[in-house]
Amino acid sequence: MRIGILTGGGDCPGLNAVIRGIVKSAPDDVEILGIMHGWKGLVDLEYITLTDDDVEGIHIIGGTILGTSRTNPFKSEEMSQKLEENVKKIGLDAVIAIGGDDTLSVAAKLSSMGYNVVGVPKTIDNDVSNTDFTFGYHTAVNVGADAIDRLHSTAKSHGRVIFVELMGREAGWITIEAGLAAGAHLILIPEYPMTIDEIVNYVKERMENKGYMIVAVAEGFKPTELENVVGDKSEIDAFGHIRLGGIAHYMAEIIKERTGYDTRSVVLGHLLRGGTPTAFDRILGTRYGVHAMKLVLDKDFGRMVALKGNEIISIPLEYAIATKKYVPFDYYKLAQIFFG
Amino acid sequence: MRIGILTGGGDCPGLNAVIRGIVKSAPDDVEILGIMHGWKGLVDLEYITLTDDDVEGIHIIGGTILGTSRTNPFKSEEMSQKLEENVKKIGLDAVIAIGGDDTLSVAAKLSSMGYNVVGVPKTIDNDVSNTDFTFGYHTAVNVGADAIDRLHSTAKSHGRVIFVELMGREAGWITIEAGLAAGAHLILIPEYPMTIDEIVNYVKERMENKGYMIVAVAEGFKPTELENVVGDKSEIDAFGHIRLGGIAHYMAEIIKERTGYDTRSVVLGHLLRGGTPTAFDRILGTRYGVHAMKLVLDKDFGRMVALKGNEIISIPLEYAIATKKYVPFDYYKLAQIFFG
Amino acid sequence: MRIGILTGGGDCPGLNAVIRGIVKSAPDDVEILGIMHGWKGLVDLEYITLTDDDVEGIHIIGGTILGTSRTNPFKSEEMSQKLEENVKKIGLDAVIAIGGDDTLSVAAKLSSMGYNVVGVPKTIDNDVSNTDFTFGYHTAVNVGADAIDRLHSTAKSHGRVIFVELMGREAGWITIEAGLAAGAHLILIPEYPMTIDEIVNYVKERMENKGYMIVAVAEGFKPTELENVVGDKSEIDAFGHIRLGGIAHYMAEIIKERTGYDTRSVVLGHLLRGGTPTAFDRILGTRYGVHAMKLVLDKDFGRMVALKGNEIISIPLEYAIATKKYVPFDYYKLAQIFFG
Amino acid sequence: MRIGILTGGGDCPGLNAVIRGIVKSAPDDVEILGIMHGWKGLVDLEYITLTDDDVEGIHIIGGTILGTSRTNPFKSEEMSQKLEENVKKIGLDAVIAIGGDDTLSVAAKLSSMGYNVVGVPKTIDNDVSNTDFTFGYHTAVNVGADAIDRLHSTAKSHGRVIFVELMGREAGWITIEAGLAAGAHLILIPEYPMTIDEIVNYVKERMENKGYMIVAVAEGFKPTELENVVGDKSEIDAFGHIRLGGIAHYMAEIIKERTGYDTRSVVLGHLLRGGTPTAFDRILGTRYGVHAMKLVLDKDFGRMVALKGNEIISIPLEYAIATKKYVPFDYYKLAQIFFG
């Protein structure tokens, strides 16, 4: 038996734990091919064989040893043909695809075409509704909380308002949890817009009472009246997100102008997705990998692994690209208790 | 309204997040008294008032600002009488008790006597069956995994077998998850005893193939034939656990004797329960605290907060001291995949 | 005896260790006043008394419990008069000033006017020539190296060039040492300009051979031909530094344009100066504080503490604002060995 | 030209940085052989070739990729003969030996016999008098301080005295600096013995005033009246050090007996020498490696690299095994300021 595994989309701490979990739990007579750079490797026929020795200790390393790309082979007739040819050429009995919406939608399509495919969900944003948690998310929250912890002392020493920008274009999970964990004094996420006036009021109250402030803001947050405020529309991208310098920079500027307080901005960006995974993410990735291999051995194809409570289960692959999981209002209200 | 809160039993990262969650979510007309040193503080009438300012930033600090003890007031008529008197004397409308089996059994008893009590479960060992996770556990696993990460390089450089001992007298959760996360080559937990011969075989195979080895062992693990091996019975305590020097030390000695390999032992002990909580534990503690306050305000007494999936729920307090949650065989089999 | 202590300029991990060192080593009959917000606190007469209890455990906290500002009282007659009045009013027998060039130049001036002043040098950039190391610097290098460590895996997984920007407007110490420690593949610092062509060559060679790259760049680095490249001069500030978005952002844009490789930028900014100090910085701060107190007790005024090898010594305060310590060519050549 | 490099004695964070520094700074026409397991590899003729690719990124990994041993080839005629034969057989033009007293005494002997040898000093204890710092030491102090930081909260919550044992058989550097950095309330090192009565007094005073206490104790510390206290002499080893359970365990027992306070002990042991080096140690190792290679290229044999202030220098190899660097009384007095 010959199985191909690949990782697609943005990288995420825990991908290597999934890979190791798959390889280590494969029986001796199963050969594992690591397809390089996501679906692209099946188009270009670039792959390596993976043995137990190749994956020794990789679960503590961030990123993915297989590389990744955002290539969607169904975007061109030529590529998809190449892919189908290659799957036959190297005799793949099954493919395990680890990735987000885009990667798994290709997997679902291949599955519907009759190929043996198993999916492993990956999103650092934790915004998939069919699984309690995705790996990489806890690491991102921990790194974010750790960074905010560090910013408290400098904000306090100088009496400043620091806006710290975290990932989350549409769902604010990383921002709200890192902000909650590290005691940010205001949390701004895409799900719950706020007017600049409201923000100004929060800033004034906190600064008058305590003299310094940390605001956690998701990259996708947009103040309600943004369009009226920003003159040059070219600074807002197709999603309505702020472009140049990021939302943290923008908020720091406008709040300084409106309140007179000394403001600063910090953008965490790629720091959140790099580096060694937390124990939780290593374990979750490992369990996902082992379960994906089990699905293959059980010939339970067209399915995706998921976490429910403490159990690893599987669900149909076509559910993978289901509704997004946004921060619910109850959770936001919980965070609000600690504002100010 | 006047509410007393207390922390009992062994300390745990996240206790202060619970305290802050309670205080910050209390309405302005609710006064919070922090009872010192667990139930002991209600016997000796030692307490402080807690305001928002008192709990600013404490959620990132390990331990408990209220101190803790293992005092069980129902162990003596005098103490329990004193306690009842004091609850009336200071006019407590409700008590929120944060603690493990012992602390919550007192809470359950008080509740059954008609007092208004709410419980928050605490066990660093994560061995409570009525909640998916308890706070402090993730921190302990992370610190344990981090320590094992550090031991790999020194074990490898010297070609040694290192036995690292983690907490877990009856349930092996911390040991199995830290060991799994950090790639221990053998994991020994109380739930799944092993003969010394089996351990010797694992050690020989790993050392012949790879030349170094990390064995994670829970403090409560006992090799099957322990009684025949240890001459002096005084070294085994009432639970059948090894006493002097700990099980890691004992295993290191006997494996050296049996295999000739260079062995060492490291006992993580109190390192696992100290220090700043992970983001996950800070959030879980915070959510527990907020929900406990909500139960009080809703006059939903005699209940304990719990985590199910991503939701905070509540269950009757008398369930708190329910069956222990041991490592199930399926989970142990998962870990076995990575032995060797 | 009554001594005032103050912290001025940008904050830095280790300031609180200095404060604790001073307070704990003061004899019982010496009263310590903590002047708030640097020299500003002596103008506005804002201060607190500091006892042993006030400084318990503060050495592990970043920033400064006394707050800081950049106020120079000698910039206005009124302020300097106020300051002199206040020094008499509260009867200060001596002042210990902890700060950088600006703060210590005020200290030197006061000393020359006959006041009893002792200085403690502070610069996170480590660019003072009269001391081997300043506290805070090691912490900044460690945080920077840790961040770069994290970026390796994501750069590698995506085949990207990541530009990471670190502090250093005129001296590149933090950038070169964090880059060297974390294996950056190119290090760009103000002392050693490079043409964009040279940078392009480094990028092409590394990308062709290894497929990913980390470039550490100091905020004050300027490519040689900058003026010809940047059309809009308003983007360059008075020092000739890039303004909008920072140099990392600028380099990422231009290198992408010139090489076609996928580039990203990360700005570490305030993360480097926040948070708990490393053990080295806690100890250095502590030793500085104790020695500064000793100078006061010995009535050895007009001097500044400094580190030479493993010894804490003192030098005349007027030397404090001496020549900057730049990265010497030999050290840069050492770093060059690891480029590519 | 063909150069052999080897690492001997106990492992230490930073060894791999030295190896990488040597390999990366070697000119293209110099071949580097990595001798395995210290001098043993020259006796058994076990070695690998080392290229730039082999050392990519290893400087962030603890331990040594070459393995290590304590083999002294001059302990037997047969081994030393074998070693000399092998040096000729593989045509080594020079050997760079990285190690402590034992490893470098072999190097010095070989040098005196006319072989081309360069030494790099290694001791995690920082007790070599001819260099300001050795690599690995800062990492050990940081890990130790971090562990003590963690213990504060648990000691405080329970009102305990925790004895934490750190490395240092004869010199107390790691213990005094980790203790100083992390605010231990008493520091016990081999250089400055104390009677148990004195220790009891410190404990009583601290416990009465503050209610909890951390005592940092070096493994080689011995209370003055030890011999009278310990009945069974077999528990003291040849150096007069406590054997069974370690000094921390012993002190915890006796202080509990003498004061009645609740005591605990934690032994950091191998945790201090494992894991990724701090930025400082990575840089120091790198600079040592580059300078060692330079000495070889300059044919400046029979010398050892060293750090003086901020400069890397070299000194005669026979000085390597010079007088130990103990904690001086002035430094101990500094630490005493913070006792209690």
C253 has binding-site annotation: no
Question: How distant is the Cα of B274 from the closest Cα of chain D, in angstroms?
Answer: 4
A251 vs A175: CA distance, rounded Å: 16
- Chains C and D form CB pairs within 8 A to the count of 85
On the question of pLDDT at C237 being above 90, the answer is no
Backbone angles phi, psi at C327, to 5 degrees: -70, 120
Burial class (CB in 10 A: 0-12, 13-18, 19+), C228: exposed
The tokens describing A35, both together, are 């397809």
A36 vs A7: CA distance, rounded Å: 8
Look at residue C128 in the predicted model and tell me its pLDDT: 84
Other C-beta atoms lying within 10 Å of the C-beta of residue D318: 18
B77 vs C288: CA distance, rounded Å: 57
pLDDT, mean over chain B: 93
CA atoms within 13 Å, Cβ hemisphere of D147: 34
At residue A140, what is the residue type? A
Record: contact C337-D290, CB cut-off 8 A: yes
More confident call, B224 vs C61: C61
Sign, CA torsion C193/C196/C198/C202: positive
Q: Which of D283, D311, D325, D332 to mutate to test the interface with C (most CBs of C within 10 A)?
A: D283
Catalytic residue among C11, C125, C127, C281, which? Answer: C125
| Average pLDDT of adjacent 10-residue blocks, chain D of 340 residues | 96 97 97 98 97 96 96 95 96 96 94 97 89 93 96 96 95 97 97 95 97 96 72 56 74 94 93 93 98 98 93 90 86 96
For the annotated binding site of A for Mg(2+), the residues are 101
- B128: pLDDT confidence band, cut at 50, 70 and 90? confident
For chain A, what is the radius of gyration of the CA atoms? Answer: 22
Look at residue C280 in the predicted model and tell me its pLDDT: 96
Q: Is A125 one of the catalytic residues?
A: yes
Sign, CA torsion D220/D226/D230/D233: positive
Strand order in the sheet with B117-121: B47-50, B31-35, B2-7, B94-99, B117-121, B303-308, B311-316
For the annotated binding site of D for Mg(2+), the residues are 101
Q: Which of D310, D325, D332 to mutate to test the interface with C (most CBs of C within 10 A)?
A: D310
D8 vs D172: CA distance, rounded Å: 22
On the question of pLDDT at B233 being above 60, the answer is no
User: A284-288, B195-199, B316-320: lowest mean pLDDT where?
Assistant: B316-320
Burial class (CB in 10 A: 0-12, 13-18, 19+), D298: exposed
Over residues B143-158, the pLDDT tens digits come to 999 999 999 999 999 9
* Mean local confidence (pLDDT), C29-57: 97
Kind of pairing between the strands at B47-50 and B31-35: antiparallel
Residues of C in contact with A37 (CB under 8 A): 159
Cβ–Cβ < 8 Å for A296, A21: no
Q: Chain A residue with minimal CA distance to C146?
A: A275
> CA-based angle A195:A196:A199, to the nearest 5?
95
Record: contact D267-B267, CB cut-off 8 A: yes
End-to-end Cα spacing for chain C: 59
Record: contact A150-C245, CB cut-off 8 A: no
Cβ–Cβ < 8 Å for C150, C253: no
Q: Chain C residue with minimal CA distance to A158?
A: C68
Burial code (b: 16+ CB inside 10 Å, e: under 16) for D82-110 equals bbbebbeeeebebbbbbbbbbbbbbbbbb
D185 vs D207: CA distance, rounded Å: 10
Element (H, E) at B34: strand B31-35
C156 vs B202: CA distance, rounded Å: 36
Secondary structure (H, E, C), chain C: CEEEEEECCCCCCCHHHHHHHHHHHCCCCCEEEEECCCCHHHHCCCEEECCHHHHCCHHHCCCCCCCCCCCCHHHCHHHHHHHHHHHHHCCCCEEEEEECHHHHHHHHHHHHCCCCEEEEECCCCCCECCCCCCCCHHHHHHHHHHHHHHHHHHHHHHCCEEEEEECCCCCCHHHHHHHHHCCCCEEECCCCCCCHHHHHHHHHHHHHHHCCEEEEEECCCCCCCHHHHCCCHHHECCCCCECCCHHHHHHHHHHHHHHCCCEEEEECHHHHHCCCCCHHHHHHHHHHHHHHHHHHHCCCCCEEEEEECCEEEEEEHHHCCCCECCCCHHHHHHHHCCCC
- C58: pLDDT confidence band, cut at 50, 70 and 90? very high
Q: Chain C residue with minimal CA distance to D294?
A: C334
Residues of C in contact with D290 (CB under 8 A): 334, 337
Q: Chain D residue with minimal CA distance to B153?
A: D63
Kind of pairing between the strands at B303-308 and C117-121: unpaired
Cβ–Cβ < 8 Å for C287, D334: yes
* Mean local confidence (pLDDT), C203-209: 97
At residue B163, what is the residue type? F
Burial code (b: 16+ CB inside 10 Å, e: under 16) for C252-284 equals bebbbeebebebbbbbbbbbbbbbbbbbbbbbb
Over residues A156-202, the pLDDT tens digits come to 999 999 999 999 989 999 999 999 999 999 999 999 999 999 999 99
CA atoms within 13 Å, Cβ hemisphere of A131: 32
Look at residue D43 in the predicted model and tell me its pLDDT: 97
CA B140 to chain centre: 8
Share of chain C above pLDDT 90, in %: 84
The tokens describing B20, both together, are 């802050």
pLDDT, mean over chain A: 93
Residues of B in contact with D7 (CB under 8 A): 157
Residues making up chain C, counted from first to last = 340
Among candidates D206, D171, D165, which has minimal Cα distance to D185? D206
Record: contact B337-A138, CB cut-off 8 A: no
Record: contact A141-B282, CB cut-off 8 A: no
Record: contact D142-C338, CB cut-off 8 A: no
- In sequence order, what E strands does A203-319 have? 213-218, 263-267, 303-308, 311-316
Residue with token string 């305290």: B19
- C131: pLDDT confidence band, cut at 50, 70 and 90? confident
ipTM above 0.95, yes or no: no
Residues of B in contact with D147 (CB under 8 A): 271
Record: contact A11-C143, CB cut-off 8 A: no
Look at residue B224 in the predicted model and tell me its pLDDT: 85
B248 vs D267: CA distance, rounded Å: 13
Helices D137-158, D173-181: axis angle to 10 degrees equals: 50
Over residues C93-130, the pLDDT tens digits come to 999 999 998 999 999 999 999 999 999 999 999 988 88
> CA-based angle C259:C264:C270, to the nearest 5?
140
Over residues C257-280, the pLDDT tens digits come to 999 999 999 999 899 998 899 999
Record: contact D338-C24, CB cut-off 8 A: yes
Burial class (CB in 10 A: 0-12, 13-18, 19+), A90: middle
Residue with token string 């390192």: B271
Catalytic residue among A11, A53, A102, A125, which? Answer: A125
Which range of B2-11, B123-132, B236-245, C243-252 scores highest in mean pLDDT? It is B2-11
> CA-based angle D90:D95:D99, to the nearest 5?
130
Look at residue A173 in the predicted model and tell me its pLDDT: 97
Q: Which of A40, A58, A154, A207 to mutate to test the interface with C (most CBs of C within 10 A)?
A: A154
Element (H, E) at A129: none
Look at residue C323 in the predicted model and tell me its pLDDT: 75
Question: How distant is the Cα of A329 from the closest Cα of chain C, in angstroms?
Answer: 31
pTM: 0.94
Element (H, E) at B97: strand B94-99
A332 vs D38: CA distance, rounded Å: 59
Domains of chain B: 2-135+277-322 (3.40.50.450), 137-272 (3.40.50.460)
Look at residue C81 in the predicted model and tell me its pLDDT: 96
Residues making up chain A, counted from first to last = 340
What are the residues of chain C with a beta carbon less than 8 Å away from any beta carbon of chain D? 24-25, 57, 59-60, 132, 138, 141-142, 144-145, 149, 152, 177-178, 180-183, 276, 278-280, 282-283, 286-287, 290, 308-310, 334, 337-338
Cβ–Cβ < 8 Å for A135, A123: no
The tokens describing A124, both together, are 């650092």
Q: Chain D residue with minimal CA distance to C146?
A: D279
Q: What single DSSP character describes residue D326?
A: P
Question: How distant is the Cα of D101 from the closest Cα of chain B, in angstroms?
Answer: 18
A221 vs A214: CA distance, rounded Å: 16
End-to-end Cα spacing for chain D: 59
